[in-house]
Chain A
Amino acid sequence: MSNERTECADISRRSFARRAALAAAAACLPRELIAGVEATSSPPQQQGEEKLSPEGQDEAEAKIQAIFHKYGDRLSEAQKTDIRRLVTEGQKPLETMRKFPLDNADQPGNVLRLYPDAAAIRGTPSH
């Protein structure tokens, strides 16, 4: 195969993590706070890029501003541009995930277990 090809499975994880990596925390920020944060201009939508809904764009922008508000003084302009891109790219997968139908009875598949388990309690003095 050609050495020019450049993918790998672990990379896939990172990419999905990146794209999935953003959501509504920033949307909870007060508007006045967001307005007070210096905004970098939004880059034009890339050709062929799937367009975000207006709500999705607002949410992405709020997250970007939350990052810049908290960490802006330590970021270069190039890093800010990169963060803007990462947040925007990450929004669409989140919207896809949110469309997945879930019911009240759908329990989280949390594989973490209660600690200590019964056997451990039996073998240790009480705390």
Chain B
Amino acid sequence: MLNEDVLYLPVRELGKRIRAKQFSSVELTESFLARSERIGPQLNAYATVTSERAMELARAADKEIAAGHYRGPLHGVPYAAKDLLAVKGYPTTWGARPYANQKFDYNATVIEKLNRAGAVLLGKAAMIELAGGMNYRFASASLTGAAKNPWNEGCWTCGSSSGSGAIVSAALAPFAIGTETWGSIICPSAYCGITGLRPTFGRVSRYGAMALAYSLDKIGPMGRTADDCALVLSAIAGHDPLDRSSLPEGEASFPYSAPLPTTLKIGWLTNAWEKPDLEIKSATQDAIKVLAQHGAKITEARLSEGPYEIAAGTIVGVEGAAAFRSLIESGRVADLVDPLGQISGYVNEQISASDYMRALQIRGICQKKIDALFDDFDVIAAASLPIAATTLETNLETDLTFADPLGGIGNLCGLPAISVPCGLTSKMLPIGIQFVGRVRNDRAVLAAANLFQQHTDWHKKRPPVA
């Protein structure tokens, strides 16, 4: 078995070593499977480990590489996929009891694309039931129980890509696929001390993925570095006629070979969080200083004010109620684990068409205003969250006190964003900083994250999980 130092290497390095035959994909896959089987259950990280399929894919990868058919940097590299992505022959539970036995006879486009890149699926990552589409009150809102944070198993990973966060953080896989409607990549990445990319809306096909909010759902990579996320994005991005929201090929594809730019104009947001914890504030300010020292031009910036979060929430509510109409009307929502999940669908059904249209019109205005901000900046930046990971028992509903205008606007307008680790609290919990870019400018957010990671080692820190 390969040792932990190898399992914590970034995707690019693993790919290089496989190609150089320092170890085989089979050896690497066996090592990640063994670690996943040992540590995965204690973190509630996986919904399903697909060992047999993984070994088949790994053997095929080794055979192809030996024959000189090298597919690229993901060839032979293992990964996990959130359990809302269809994988032929395996359960796709959407993290929810009503779908515990659900199977599809096809693969999601993302899975197909990763197959074509030669990546090796290790398993389906645990997730919050229905990706939080029916709301939830507790971290335990999942078919597989609360996902535990590798940095402190008494703390949560955040959701809804909870297993994806735990898996990458604990080196059960070098990267995982997550999804975000609002916060579900950025938050677990920040809580778990990993790097997570939310691509521009429409860049990555959602075909074969559970729908939560048709006009907000995005699929993206979670890994160790921005470079890893860029490599994975380049494999999974691209137009797909099977996804009605897919961007045209010229806008959807993400060729990644040239070096990322290092001269960046960054707007440091002064109104993203009202009262971030002092340790978060200090760590993110230090991060900005690092960027300034290495060529980035930093200027303070402000988000435009308006009812953008309410508009985003209205759209999530309406589209979620539509996406799960049969679950709501049949009463099977009662089978969800979370008490809030059992009733919120009924409430969301009551949103009027008038209010939904108003929210869409407000989105149009918000798109123009946020786009104008990017005339002055390549990216805007703020703490990923104003706090670090919360306890597993926290009542998420009653203890919410802060607004999230950047998350609201970023998701409402389909903007790309990335969260990278930038510190640890005194309780050894990860802190994240996020960079948000103009629509289609995923390259800029990756560049900012990459610049930061070239000059820091927060992304190399390992949690105490064993």
What residues of chain A have their CB less than 8 Å away from a CB belonging to chain B? Answer: 1, 3-27, 63, 66-67, 70-71, 74-75, 79, 82-83, 86-87, 90, 93-94, 96-98, 100, 102, 106-113, 115-117, 119-120
Beta-carbon contact of B350 and A17 below 8 Å: no
Q: 1/0 per residue B342-361: CB within 8 Å of A?
A: 11101111111111011111
Give complex CA distance A23, B364 in Å: 21
Which of A16, A21, A117 contacts B347, CB < 8 Å? Answer: A21
CA distance A73 to B155 in the complex (A): 38
A16 and B408 within 8 A (CB): yes
- Nearest B residue to A70, CB-CB: B346
> How many angstroms from the CA of A84 to the CA of B354 in the assembled complex?
22
The segment out of B33-41, B80-88, B179-187 that lies at the interface is B179-187
Q: B-side interface residues toward A, CB under 8 Å?
A: 132, 135-136, 154-156, 158-160, 181-184, 186-187, 190-191, 201-202, 214-215, 241, 244-249, 277, 279-280, 306-307, 309-314, 316-317, 320, 331, 334, 339-340, 342-344, 346-355, 357-367, 384-388, 390-391, 394-397, 399-404, 407-408, 411-414, 425-427, 429
Q: Determine how close the nearest CB of chain B comes to the CB of A116; give it in whole angstroms.
A: 6
CB pair A8 B277 closer than 8 Å = no
Q: Give chain A residues whose Cβ lies under 8 Å from the Cβ of B155.
A: 3
Taking CB atoms, residues of chain B closer than 8 Å to A26 are 350
CA distance A10 to B187 in the complex (A): 7
Could you tell me if A22 and B402 are in contact, using CB atoms closer than 8 angstroms? no
**Once the chains bind, are A23 and B352 in contact (CB under 8 Å)?**
yes
CB distance from B338 to the nearest CB of A (A): 10
Please state if B357 and A108 are interface contacts (CB–CB under 8 Å).
yes
Q: Is the pair A12, B400 in contact by a Cβ cutoff of 8 Å?
A: yes
- Which chain B residue has the least Cβ–Cβ distance from A12? B404
Other-chain contact of B355, A17, A86, A97 (Cβ < 8 Å): A97
How distant is the Cα of A96 from the Cα of B310 in the complex, in angstroms? 8
Chain A contacts for B411, CB-based, 8 A: 13
Could you tell me if B350 and A25 are in contact, using CB atoms closer than 8 angstroms?
yes
Cβ distance B158 to chain A, nearest Cβ, rounded Å: 5
Once A17-B348, A111-B202 are accepted as A-B contacts, the answer to whether A102 and B310 lie under 8 Å apart by CB is no
Q: Decide if A6 touches B365 in the complex (CB within 8 Å).
A: no
User: In the complex, how many angstroms separate the beta carbon of A23 from the nearest chain B beta carbon?
Assistant: 4
Give the residues in chain B near A66, CB-CB below 8 Å: 350
Contact A97 B201 (CB under 8 A): no
Name 5 A/B residue pairs within 8 A (Cβ), A-sorted: A13-B312, A14-B396, A83-B343, A109-B413, A112-B215
Asked if residues A94 and B314 are in contact (CB atoms below 8 Å), the reply is: yes
Interface contact B154-A6, CB-CB below 8 Å? no
Nearest CB in chain B to that of A80: its residue: B343
- Quick check: B158 and A8 within 8 Å, CB to CB? yes
Q: Does B313 lie within 8 Å of A21, measured CB to CB?
A: yes
Q: Which residues of A contact B360 (CB under 8 A)?
A: 108-110
Contacts of A9 in B (CB 8 A): 158, 182-183, 186-187, 190, 384-385, 404, 407
Give the docked Cα–Cα distance between A117 and B331 (Å): 38
Cβ–Cβ contact A6 & B355, under 8 A: no
Is B279 touching A8 in the complex (CB atoms < 8 A)? no
Bound Cα distance A13, B365 (Å)? 20
Measured between C-beta atoms, what is the minimum distance from A51 to chain B in Å?
Answer: 18
**Chain A positions within 8 Å of B340 at CB level:** 14, 18, 82
A3, A27, A109: the one contacting B364 at CB < 8 Å is A109
Top 8 nearest A-B pairs (CB, nearest first) are A6-B399, A16-B313, A108-B360, A109-B363, A109-B364, A13-B182, A10-B183, A20-B313
Query: Which residues from chain A contact B367 at a C-beta distance below 8 Å?
Result: 109
Residue in chain A with minimal CB distance to B353: A25
A81, chain B: closest CB distance, angstroms: 10
Q: A12-B183, A23-B355 are in contact. Are A112 and B135 (CB under 8 A)?
A: no
